[in-house]
Amino acid sequence: MNNIVFGKYLPLNTVIHNLDPRAKIIAMFFVLIAVFLPAGFIGYGIIALALAAVIVLAKINFRFIIKAFKPMIFMMIFLLIINILSYKDGVLLLSFGFISVYSSALIQTLYIVIRLILMIMTTTILTFTSKPLDLTLGIEYMLTPLKRFNFPAHEIAMIISIALRFIPTIIEETARIMNSQKSRGVDFEEGKLKEKVVAIVSLIVPLFSVAFQRADDLADAMEARGYVPGAKRTRYKQLCYHQSDYVLLASSLILLGSLVAISIVL
């Protein structure tokens, strides 16, 4: 559990870390839109090079990026198997009983894998280089125009902030409970299916109990400090775009435009 890096922030002093969170969020959306464009392997290669350049500028160790894929491996394998077996187009490469594998299925499966990898890389870079509170502030600023329609921008941003903040905490609590249960003889790896289900239940029940207790303590702390939802609030830190932020936005927009052009040509 300690190897899970999703939602964690790496405190470094780089040009990427110092960017405005609004610019990083907008750039992330541009990249995610580009990922879903039918630009082929050429387009995906361009996105991968752009993300690799950002990783280098942010001084992030590539091992942390690789660790971010571990929680998604099972889902990726499941999607690969389903896609290979369900897609029936192209040249038949393998036929064994009811199992048939076609050339187009392999190509489409490879597209799905690359898209998932690029999406995970993009979101991981954002969380690695942005403090949860900065992300919350950036989301709230971006949702401010919706306040005219009585949209609870601050409340939504606060919920997102709390969720991001509690991801590492829940992971640490899960590891602590697992170690406690292992010391009592619970085996999470060996045994029959029924024994594994019982072991998982012995993990889930105390984890939910701890999560609800932490949520109750957080609510009491916010009330004790005079937090009132919907009240007019002031902030010590004010977001302001700088030249580097405009460079990021322009670069991401150029990337998106290039992928659109490539997809049209293809």
CA geometry: angle 76, 77, 80, nearest 5 deg: 85
Q: Band of the pLDDT at 134, cuts 50, 70, 90?
A: confident
Q: Band of the pLDDT at 255, cuts 50, 70, 90?
A: very high
Sign of CA dihedral 89, 95, 100, 102: negative
Residue 3 has pLDDT above 70, yes or no: no
- Helical H runs in 130-242? 132-143, 153-183, 193-224
Residues pairing with 94 in the sheet: 101
Strands 99-102 and 92-96: antiparallel
Task: Say what the pLDDT of residue 57 is.
Answer: 92
Residue 246 has pLDDT above 90, yes or no: yes
Query: In this predicted model, what pLDDT tens digit does every residue of 36-48 receive, in sequence order?
Result: 888 888 899 999 9
Task: Say what the pLDDT of residue 66 is.
Answer: 80
If you average pLDDT over every residue of the chain, what do you get?
81
Mean pLDDT of 110-127: 87
Query: For residue 191, is it left (φ>0), alpha (ψ between -120 and 50) or beta?
Result: left
Higher pLDDT, 3 or 74: 74
Q: Is 102 helix (H, G, I), strand (E, B) or coil?
A: strand
Task: Say what the pLDDT of residue 248 is.
Answer: 93
Cβ contact 140:25 at 8 Å? no
Per mean pLDDT, which range of 85-99, 113-127, 240-254 is the poorest? 85-99
CA distance 173 to 4: 13
Query: Which residues have CB under 8 Å from 256's CB, separation 6+?
Result: 30, 31, 33, 34
CA distance 49 to 34: 13
Per mean pLDDT, which range of 177-181, 186-190, 226-230 is the poorest? 186-190
Residue 93 has pLDDT above 70, yes or no: no
Please report, rounded to a whole number, the percentage of residues in the chain having pLDDT higher than 70: 85
Cβ contact 127:6 at 8 Å? yes
